[in-house]
Amino acid sequence: MRRLYAASDVRAYARCRRQWWYERRSTELAALEPAVIAERMAALRRRHGAGAEEAPAYRLLADLASRGENLERGARVHRAHAARALRPSGCLPVAGLLAGVLLLLFRYGVIPKGRS
């Protein structure tokens, strides 16, 4: 597979090779599934033993795994809160919500106003 590099990649590489590598690598690894990240971390631990946690590649993977876990935890909390907050309690909140939506649709011209 042939890689394409943009002008921003060349500029970043010229500025700091290590930072360029880290950003490029973290962008590629961020697209991986959490199970694949965990598998790669386990492979580094098998290969390097107790010193694997100090390796930059391992720390990068650990950081990405931590971010993924935090994102998933935040999404679960948000979904639970949204389910509680949006639970209708009778007809009045639903009618008020519909009236608000209609007002917004009239205001932004989605529903044309009647002619006088």
Average pLDDT over residues 16-40: 79
Residue at 2 is within a domain: no
Both 83 and 96 in one domain: the answer is no
Q: What is the pLDDT of residues 48-74, one digit of tens each?
A: 888 888 888 888 888 888 888 888 888
Same domain, residue pair 30 and 54: yes
The two structure tokens encoding residue 99: 């009236």
- Verify that 73 and 94 share a domain, yes or no: no
The set of residues, in sequence order, having a beta carbon less than 8 Å from that of 65 and lying 6+ positions away, is 34, 37, 38, 41
Length of the chain counted residue by residue: 116
Quote the pLDDT of residue 42.
Answer: 93
- Top-confidence range, 10-14, 35-39, 103-107: 35-39
Average pLDDT, rounded, for the chain: 78
Q: Is the pLDDT of residue 1 over 70?
A: no
Residues 82 and 99 in one domain: no
DSSP letters of 9-47? HHHHHHH-HHHHHHHHHHHHHHTS-HHHHHHHHHHHHHH
Indicate if the pLDDT at residue 101 is higher than 60.
yes
Report which of residues 84 and 54 the model is more confident about.
Answer: 54
